[in-house]
Amino acid sequence: METPGVILHPPFKYMRTPPSLLPEKEFRSHAPGYWKNKKIAPEDWNSAAWQLRNRITTLAQLEEHIELCEEERAGVILSGNKLAMAITPHYFNLIDGDDPECPIRRQVIPRIEETWEDPDEMADPCGEDSHMPVPGLVHRYPDRVLFLVTDRCASYCRYCTRSRVVSGVGEQELHTDYEAVFRYLEKHDEVRDVLLSGGDPLLFSDGKLEGILKRLRSIPHIEFIRIGSRVPIFLPQRITPELCQMLAKYHPLWMSVHTNHPRELTTEVKAGLERLANHGIPLGNQSVLLRGVNDDADVMKSLVQKLLMCRVRPYYLYQCDLIQGSSHLRASVNTGVEIIEQLRGHTTGYGVPQFVIDAPGGGGKVPVNPDYVLLRDEQRTLIRNFEGRTFEYPEPAMVRA
């Protein structure tokens, strides 16, 4: 029952934005976008190979399409010193060419702020190198491992946790020893869950990716395989019926995609995600909380609702890792907590991700939640709901005794 007269938390001011006014709720195709004058055949545009061949990778290519601000231009010139720039035409079309603060631009176009030094930042913020028993395999948690199968992506996020090894210009090189990884997994029967990541595993050909999956499935104690990928967002043309049919042979197989802003969920992306779901692949989304991108409750609400329409469950909202050169993109932890608070109770429960901090230095994911438990003792637990109202839940009498 509600506890009369007890107000331990101020009344909660929750979102009242009408659904029709939420940002970017509609699914749209942005093709041909900046390429409309190039007379590109539809079969080329819809080809993953064409998209990869025609990525934006140079300053000249960028300036052919949009006017850069000074911070972006300087950042692009210096980008090869830390993390290469590459943007697929599909994703590039989402950029607002007139707005340097466009949430899509901030994710993929380098800025001079990436060169700023911050003593709190790290090359390996998640401590992966210190939990790598063989090259390319991270074994931090008791029953699951991270298998880094490649160092390449379709496009490069400027806040990449693995910028030290990804894109081929980082301070380290990724030298995954596949046979050593498979031998390690065969010997460690406590491992039941393998996550393929990198880089992006879906950049591999169907045959090469199937070779890895088949080898993993030959190890009896591996129950569960996951693929972490941003290809469905950066390169939806890669999500072909043939790929989906191949993946479906290796169930239970799950996929974690990475979407940060509702504009990224285009009609092409929705079709690719639905194709994966139709082949029995459960989909979860991992977002990174980014300043100027999704550090707003209405933006996040639009994102999670669109994800559910794509049959993707919002899974994690990550506090941005302390990667070197990311200070201009990191929002506060308090902002993340407030966003979760403004989602809980105000949208579908399936749409509320778990906000986590990957503990700096290798401590693993730590959940961070709003304070819904106000008091707890042997007699009762005092809680508040999404409206800020307080309630008392009594402990069972046998527990009190």
**Catalytic residue annotation:** 140-141, 144, 153, 157, 160, 162, 321, 358, 365
Quote the CA–CA distance of 214 and 358 in Å, as a whole number.
31
Alpha helix positions (H), 84-205: 89-92, 105-108, 178-187
Quote the CA–CA distance of 158 and 104 in Å, as a whole number.
11
Contact by Cβ (8 Å): 331, 320: yes
Quote the CA–CA distance of 330 and 325 in Å, as a whole number.
10
Q: Centre a 10 Å sphere on the Cβ of residue 297 and count the other Cβ atoms it contains.
A: 20
Ligand-binding annotation for 310, yes or no, is no
> Which DSSP helix (H) or strand (E) runs through 210?
helix 206-217
How far apart, in Å, are the Cα atoms of 218 and each of 146, 185, 186, 205, 316?
18, 11, 9, 20, 30
Spatial CA neighbour of 161 closest among 57, 270, 286, 276 = 286
Quote the CA–CA distance of 343 and 250 in Å, as a whole number.
35
Quote the CA–CA distance of 384 and 371 in Å, as a whole number.
8
Contact by Cβ (8 Å): 185, 194: yes
Contact by Cβ (8 Å): 76, 62: yes
Amino acid 19 reads: P
Ligand-binding annotation for 244, yes or no, is no
Binding residues for [4Fe-4S] cluster: 153, 157, 160
